[in-house]
Amino acid sequence: MGRLRSHFSIAYRAGLEEARSGDPDLFDSLRRSKVYVDEIQDYTQAEILLFFFLSGPGDLFLAGDPAQSVVEGVEFRFEEVRSVGHYVAGERRDLIPSKPKVVNVNFRSHSGVLNTAAAVLRCMFGAFPDSAKQLNEDRGLFLGPRPGVIYPLALGRLKEAVSMNLKGAVVLTHDTNVSYIRRALGNYPLVYGIREAKGLEFQRVIV
């Protein structure tokens, strides 16, 4: 999937560059006054370049979290956005994007979830310090219960959990295990890989 996205991005970028040089009216019709992109950490530099082409100076807003990158082959750093900006700006130094602003107040999740996620990230950065850009931990506006952590989780325990009232979505860190776990849980439908589950909303989640 990542390779197909890369080929598509390169082809689309080539088409935009051709339109810009050969048909300015067509190029202007493709552009947008404002471009807002979320989850920017899941895009390649070629795709980020498309966003620069499709927007004007100061009209591109990008948001993301480097610790949430789940796309295979993408190791995102916000410095990559500025490097693309340098490429696009050329001699126009005023067009280079400013340094990213960091927001550490989370309006979506309560402190119970955020503190647990921060603990997982601390473990990850302790073992792999260069795996992602390390930012300050998020703070929540509201208190809330800490999610239960059961480790190690045997398959029988997991089957018991989904057969009871919990009935939550099971999210796996490895997409290749989805079919096996789904069958092992009696064809339980709510089993997802981390990439498939991203962006979806669930009332209860077992990770």
- What is the Cα Rg of the chain in Å? 21
Tell me how far apart the alpha carbons of residues 122 and 139 are, in angstroms, rounded to a whole number: 15
**Higher pLDDT residue, 107 or 31?**
107
What is the per-residue pLDDT across 138-197, written as a single tens digit (0 to 9) for each? 888 888 887 877 677 678 888 877 776 667 788 887 888 899 988 988 888 888 888 888
Average pLDDT over every residue of 33-43? 84
**Higher pLDDT residue, 42 or 166?**
42
pLDDT given at position 16: 62
Tell me how far apart the alpha carbons of residues 42 and 93 are, in angstroms, rounded to a whole number: 27
User: What is the model's pTM?
Assistant: 0.66
pLDDT given at position 19: 60
67 contacts 132 by C-beta, under 8 angstroms: yes
Strand 105-106 and strand 169-172: the pairing is unpaired
- Phi first, then psi, for residue 37 (nearest 5°) are -130, 125
